[in-house]
Amino acid sequence: MELLKLGTLDHTTRNDTYYIVFYKTLMLDIYAGPAAKKLIQEQGFKQELFTTMLGASGGPKWFSLFGLDKYLFGEYFKDRREELNLVGSSAGAFRFAALSQQDPVSAITRLATLYSETTYSAKANKSEITAKAKILLEAVLGANGSNEIINNPIFKAHFIVAKCRGLTTLEQKVPLLLGLMSSMAMNQVNRGLLAKQYQRYVYHHPKSQLTISDSFNFNTQHQALTNDNLTDSLLASGSIPLIMEGIKDIIGSPKGMYRDGGIIDYHFDVDIKPAKGLTLYPHFSPTPKAGWFDKNLARKVNSQYYTNTVMLVPSQEFIARLPYAKIPDRDDFTNLDAATRIKYWQTVLSESAYLADDFSKLITSSDVTNFKSID
């Protein structure tokens, strides 16, 4: 590591004398499937190699990727002429609703700013949290955001939603909790048993040909986005059970209760067709988990689904330099007072620019020596 003294920096987390640190991509780790690694080694890190991008659930964990999102859509994909399918669940869906607007950098900045500054009352209930989420989405979408998403000829949004069955359709705390406990128990036995309680819905750009399936028979339904269903499907994709109210009877869809897409697709374990290019996956974790109930399990995703995938992941060196030496999570709402949390989150948003800096250097080379394997 080489240090070069340059002067002063106007930055929320630094003052006085500062140093520029020359890293060899220490802020950003690259994980790649075998087919993706081979293709990049042959052709370089060309943006046209990618035809799909994934956005995971995880709430404010996404703040660590904010700088990457801005760079990818402000620079890397800026002059793109071929379609890029954006597939997101929960927070990933919120990101892609912003990034598929006409000014993606402004929209993603609105999302990051408003989300990081969100506050709740001391004993906020589901109604309050849901109402705040609606206000957030209204501000991110603005007057014409829905039309821009639906009519974007290049960046084609897909929002993952879980349609519920049985006790998980209810809003009362005790039966819903019992339903979720049943889900957890079934998932420990076999992930495929979750299909008894949840069905995957993909709300997609009206001109998208992309399909999503898996080996667990979630009976995936694909439904085109419209001005009538976009806001509700997007809100449903982020409606965390017990924390937020579910969305009932999305217009144009079968009647029922729709909840957070991360229940089924937390980090994705799916087969995406047509698989004609690579998948880019900025992600806050090097170890993807299939569903929400897999978070604490050793179960791994199907490696065949990741053979064409490149993951951009904050390194441990990057995380260690953040306040509290961790990336943000929903527990910060309860563990930190509002002022401390907002300052922390906005520091992470600022620091995430280092990941973009590393990526901008990486794409000038076809060197895959330091690429890691996806587990």
Cα–Cα distance for residue pair 154/366, rounded to 1 Å: 26
β-pair type (271-273, 155-164): unpaired
Tell me, what's the pLDDT at 274?
Answer: 87
Bridge partners (DSSP) listed for residue 272: 212
Asked whether 74 and 67 are in contact (CB, 8 A), the reply is no
Q: What is the pLDDT of residue 44?
A: 93
3-class DSSP assignment, residue 184: helix
Q: What pLDDT is stored for residue 218 in this prediction?
A: 95
Average pLDDT of the chain, as a whole number: 92
Among residues 343, 350, 338, which one has the least CA distance to residue 67? 350
pLDDT of residue 2: 36
Nearest one of 363, 353, 364 to 71, comparing CA atoms: 353
Residue 19: pLDDT over 60: no
Is the predicted pLDDT of residue 15 greater than 80, yes or no? no
The pLDDT tens digits of the residues spanning 198-249 come to 999 999 999 999 999 999 989 999 999 999 999 999 999 999 999 999 999 9
Model confidence at 14, in pLDDT bands (50, 70, 90)?
very low
Distance in angstroms (rounded) separating the CA atoms of residues 4 and 17: 11
**Torsion sign over Cα 350, 354, 355, 356:** positive
Helix axes 104-116, 338-351, angle to 10 degrees: 150
Is residue 40 predicted with pLDDT exceeding 70? yes
Size (the chain), residues: 375
| pLDDT band of 18, cuts 50, 70, 90 | very low
- Which amino acid belongs to residue 195? A
End-to-end CA distance of the chain: 28
Q: Which domain holds residue 308?
A: 2-373
Q: Name the residue with tokens 């990057």.
A: 318
Q: Which two tokens mark 269?
A: 């374990």
CATH number, domain with residue 12: 3.40.1090
Number of H helices and number of E strands within the chain?
12, 15
Q: Count of domains in the chain?
A: 1
In a 3-state reduction of DSSP, which class is residue 282? strand
Q: At 153, list the tokens.
A: 């000829």
Kindly state the DSSP code that residue 14 receives in the 8-state scheme: B
Of 309, 298, 307, 287, nearest to 87 (Cα)?
A: 309
Nearest to residue 245, comparing CAs of 159, 375, 131, 109?
131
